[in-house]
Amino acid sequence: MKHQSSLAKLFIGLIIAGFLLASCTKSPRQGSAQPSKSAVQLKRIAVPSRVLSIAGEVLAFQASGEAGRIAEVPISLRRLQGRFGDFQRASIFEYNKEGKVLSQQEATVLPDGAIAIKATSGNRYLLYPDLGQRFRDTYVVACNLRNARLPAQLVPRICTQILCTDNFFKASQLKERIPELKNQNGLADLGEGVLGGFGGRGDICDQCLHPSEPDGDFLPAPGCFQKVPVAPDPPTGADQIVFWRLPGTVSPASNPQIFKLNADGTEVNLSNNDEFEMKPDVNHRTKKIVFFSTQGGLLTMDLNGGNRTVIPDAFRGDDPKWSRNDESFIVFTNLGANIDNSLHRVRLDGSDNVEIVKALPGNVIRTADLVDDNHVIYWQSNSTTKGDLFIKDMRNSDPAVNLTNTKDQDERSPVVSHSGSLIAFVVHGGTDAEDDEIHVARLTLPSTLTDIHVIHLHAPAGRFLGGLDFSSDDSRIIVDDTVVETEGTTNTAQLFSINLDGSGQVRLTFSDDFDLDPSVVTP
């Protein structure tokens, strides 16, 4: 349970720090595409899997806007500079949907970390920061090795020597380290450039170069960047997703805000103010959003961010959830993360504010969702953050029922499908070495929970899952998950989508912040 406690403390610490520093200047959204006044905009997309990135330094973008329009679009690379140092130049490769490279640009990074990309609407771009001669030499050597069409059994050893060692060595010494290379026909002189010292690990040590593929990997070296091996875009559905974004930098502080992710990948800041706003939930029927704000506790607003209304007498509310039928009431945790807190119900005019259930002594009720307008399922944890799921019939005073009641597992973050027939929640096995997993279960009232799917996310998704929701057709799960952008370091949390059977994982957001608690808007 230590890992979940640490992650929770990280999020809470960032939020508290943001409150304390709320008067500071708002920090830029570093490393992601910035809004452009031109008719062309760049949005972050996933780097294709066979684009070689030595240390996760490559960024990918897609240009959107009126067809055929060309414009210089600024982006900030300050976040990338924070990871790799103040590099001064970057190479940008423009390619189309078929992967054909159309042009190469060289850009100078300005003192504020900004560059401008000449972008054409509909095309895509790979950005490689110039991280010095060792990176450049490594790409050239890797390209020469790729073009030599080496036996597949040599590739893991070569990749490990080049990318996954801590020691530096000259490229010419690679043949001494792997004697089989001495007899390879067609292998160009590897030169005297310095390689190694990257200390990487994982898939890149075993799977780089892909000599058996017709086009091989993309590398930013002559002879290896004519084509980007692109895969078809995975389907993401027509849903919109509301979530909150916690800035990834603590000082100077920037306030968390409510965002909407459109089906085409564009984002809208619905809050767009100086308040601290988070924990949104969208009504399944009316598409109205309820959320927490420092403006006055629990508020509602329209899907376009307008018509903001404070719910009276709910200032101490947290993690609000809509009733299932229209806008009858809101369920929320009173006093948030406080020990011995309670779960409440309130109408939008502030009336009928009643306690549904109080946390067990020494416990905390953290989040909840409505099965129907009579039954609420909630996550309660003890002082060691061991969590279980409970269900309460709101029509009577009977005690809540523990649905999971496990000794060595932590169950948390329950969410109910749009149809009301399925429950999804996060499970952790109880040791730091284990990853979180998503369980999808069928709930038979009053208190029978039956697992039907167990979902594991894969890289670049990390180990620690957060908030969940179902897609509008209940065929997929939308979840926030930690992302490891720099080896060994959890840098952000991002939104992912995945089928109930664990297939078809798609990364939905590419910010340098923490994107949390998705709530799906039905079309």
Report whether the peptide linkage leading into residue 252 is cis, meaning its omega lies within 30 degrees of zero.
yes
Q: Which of 272-281, 296-305, 331-340 is predicted with the least confidence, judged by mean pLDDT?
A: 331-340
Task: Quote the pLDDT of residue 38.
Answer: 53
333-354 in b/e form (b: 16+ CB < 10 A) is: bbbbeeeebbbbbbebeeeebe
In the chain, domain spans: 40-129, 133-207, 240-521
- What DSSP assignment string belongs to 194-232? EEE-----SHHHHHSS-TTSSS--B-SSTTS-SB--PPP
Residues 76, 114 contacting (CB under 8 angstroms): yes
Does 96 have pLDDT greater than 90?
Answer: yes
Distance CA 483, CA 499 (A): 19
Q: Give the amino acid at 107.
A: A
The edge-to-edge listing of strands for the beta sheet with 364-370 is: 364-370, 375-381, 387-393, 401-402
Contacts of 95 (CB under 8 A, 6+ apart): 101, 102, 123, 124, 125, 126, 227, 228, 230
Mean pLDDT, to the nearest integer, of 203-228? Answer: 83
Count the helix, strand and coil residues of the chain and give each as a percent rounded to the nearest 5.
15, 40, 50
Give dist(CA 116, CA 132) in Å, integer: 21
Element (H, E) at 269: strand 267-269
User: According to the model, what pLDDT value does residue 173 have?
Assistant: 92
The string of pLDDT tens digits covering residues 385-429 is: 689 999 999 999 999 999 999 888 899 999 999 999 999 999 997
Half-sphere exposure of residue 301, counting CA atoms within 13 Å on the CB side? Answer: 22
Average pLDDT, integer, range 441-447: 93
Over range 492-513, report the average pLDDT: 92
119-166 tens-digit pLDDT: 999 999 999 999 999 999 999 999 988 888 888 888 888 889 999 888
Binned at pLDDT 50, 70 and 90, residue 18 comes out as: very low
pLDDT average, residue stretch 459-474: 92
pLDDT score at 486: 58
Nearest to 315 by CA among 336, 338, 289, 341: 336
For residue 445, is pLDDT > 50? Answer: yes
Instruction: Say if pTM beats, i.e. exceeds, 0.85.
Output: no
Mean pLDDT of 243-252: 74
* pLDDT tens figures, 185-198: 778 788 899 999 98
Q: Give the mean pLDDT of the chain.
A: 86
Look up residue 122 and give its amino acid. Answer: G
- Retrieve residue 121's tokens: 């609407």
For residue 183, what are the contacts with CB-CB under 8 A and spacing of at least 6? none
40-129, what's its fold?
Immunoglobulin-like (2.60.40)
pLDDT, position 15: 42
6: helix, strand or coil? helix
Across 25-29, 35-39, 322-326, 459-463, least confident range? 25-29
Q: Which residue has the higher pLDDT, 356 or 208?
A: 356
Q: Are 244 and 480 in contact (CB under 8 A)?
A: no
Residue 233: what pLDDT? 67
Spell out the residues 6+ positions from residue 1 whose beta carbon is closer than 8 angstroms to its own.
384, 385, 386, 410, 428, 430
- Report whether 332 contacts 320 (CB < 8 A): yes
Residues paired with 283 in a beta bridge: none
At 212 the pLDDT is 67
Q: Which two tokens stand for residue 442?
A: 């069928």
Report the topology of domain 240-521: Neuraminidase (2.120.10)
CB burial of 91-100 (b: ≥16 within 10 Å; e: otherwise) equals bbbbbeeebe
Distances (CA, A) of 417 to 31, 424, 522: 35, 8, 12
The gap from C-alpha 20 to its chain's centroid, in whole angstroms, comes to 26
Q: What one-letter code names the amino acid at 225?
A: F
* pLDDT of 23 strictly over 70: no
